Amino acid sequence: MIERVKTLLAVVILVAVGAPAEYVKFEYAWRMVDGMAASHASHGELGSATVVRWAGYRSKYCLARFGRTGAEVVVHLTGECVRGAVHQVRVVRTRNTDISFIGPAEADQAYEAGSLDWLMYLLPVVLIGLLALLTLGGAVGGVVGLVRGRAWGAARVG
């Protein structure tokens, strides 16, 4: 009996880890798909962005003012960030979600044609997908074991 309780507890823990991991994976995947489509000129609002400042160490993205409204966007470029430079970009508006496990995207993202910065989301999508597969797969295995009357760690007799 105690082995079944342990198995049930393990299933609950695996689902508690796996379900949020799936949510995070899909959030990263949406960001990756939006960036890829914008950098290939098939998604987002076309316009010009004027570079205001560099965003971070060893990055090819910077902060810029977009269009006539001057809204601040994060621009992913193919080259270096040069203050005052004007680039033709496609802006992808931030998706407003109620819960964000990976933090809010403070500004809309803009991609210059040919930018590959959207690839930065590929590794997290793959790794989190594997984590979710292992945890949710383990949970399914535990449930199947409970239904069949076998708990994890229980000794087989006969």
Polymer length of the chain: 158
Does pTM surpass 0.75? no
**What percent of the chain stands above pLDDT 90?**
7
| Model pLDDT for residues 103-140, shown as the tens digit of each residue | 555 578 888 888 888 888 888 888 888 887 777 777 77
| Model pLDDT for residues 27-41, shown as the tens digit of each residue | 778 888 888 888 888
Token representation of residue 37? 């489509």
Which positions ≥6 away from 46 have C-beta within 8 Å? 88, 89, 90
Q: Whose CA is closest to 152, among 144, 142, 140?
A: 142
CA dist., res. 75 & res. 89, Å (int)? 8
Token representation of residue 136? 């949710």
Token representation of residue 152? 């994890």
